[in-house]
Amino acid sequence: MDARWTLVTFCAAAYLIGSLPLGYWVTRWRRLGLDIRGYGSGNVGTANIYRHAGFALAAVIGPLQFIQGLLPVLLARYVGNVTGAGLVVVGILAVVGNGWSLFLHFDGGRGVAVSTGAVAGLNPIALAVLLVCFAAGALRGRIAEGVIAGFIVLPLAGVVLAVVPLRAGWAFPVGMVVILLLILARRLEGVVGDVNHFGKDQHVVLDRVLHDRRPGRPLVGHRTDP
């Protein structure tokens, strides 16, 4: 198969794999039809599932979403012989699928676990940098801040990896910038409506970016936003 069509095939597969809303499906199945989108942050990811469906489900969903980012990259690398920038694009498409799922009317999760899996497949050293930031945030009781800090640091780490003897290539830091922007886009989804409804308070935007909190969406309980 022509290399370009090989890349297109694996990009499409990455989007479809990332698009599978496993958190939504498994929660509805195991919790008698519970729609996790109506609770807490409204997110279909691990943290919201943990708060409203329990640790056991979250412990399953988290690794599965990680694999949704990791698997497309590994398949493209070892089955499709995709390399360099093409491999980075495959990882990005998995994140796009998670955030804008074909199965949830192009809505979805925050993309954090899937992005982490994609980074693991692209560069294990970058994964270590990301995990250190996650751990630092968790130790301070501010995991959402640790997550966004990790994805902010990641493009800088990618630049270092591109110039040291590892020579990861410039496509990697550029791809990490794209993933950061995708995560920010998910955290800021609907922010204009929030500002219009709850007032033009700068804390509305800061809470979204730093803490992944939306007004009218308490961490635990039913959503109260319109």
| Domains identified in the chain, total number | 1
Residue 53 lies inside a defined structural domain of this protein: yes
Does the pTM of the predicted model rise above 0.75?
yes
- Contacts for 57-66 with beta carbons within 8 Å, 24 or more apart? 57/26, 57/27, 57/30, 57/31, 60/26, 61/22, 61/23, 61/26, 61/27, 62/113, 64/22, 65/22, 65/23, 65/98, 65/109, 65/113, 65/114, 65/117, 66/113, 66/114, 66/116, 66/117, 66/120
**pLDDT, tens digit, for every residue of 102-146?**
999 898 888 999 999 999 999 999 999 999 999 999 998 888 899
> Distance between CA 43 and CA 187 in Å, rounded?
10
Q: Average model confidence (pLDDT) for the chain?
A: 86
Residue 218 has pLDDT above 80, yes or no: no
Residue 44 lies inside a defined structural domain of this protein: yes
- Give me 118's structure tokens: 């994609």
**pLDDT, tens digit, for every residue of 157-186?**
989 888 775 566 889 999 999 999 999 999
Residue 138 lies inside a defined structural domain of this protein: yes
Residue 122 lies inside a defined structural domain of this protein: yes
> Distance between CA 87 and CA 172 in Å, rounded?
9
> pLDDT value at position 117?
97
Domain of 27 in residue numbering reads as 3-211
- Helix, strand, coil abundance in the chain, percent, nearest 5: 70, 0, 25
Residue 191 lies inside a defined structural domain of this protein: yes
Residue 218 lies inside a defined structural domain of this protein: no
Residue 221 lies inside a defined structural domain of this protein: no
> pLDDT value at position 168?
63
Residue 222 lies inside a defined structural domain of this protein: no
Asked whether the beta carbons of 107 and 38 are under 8 A apart, the reply is: no
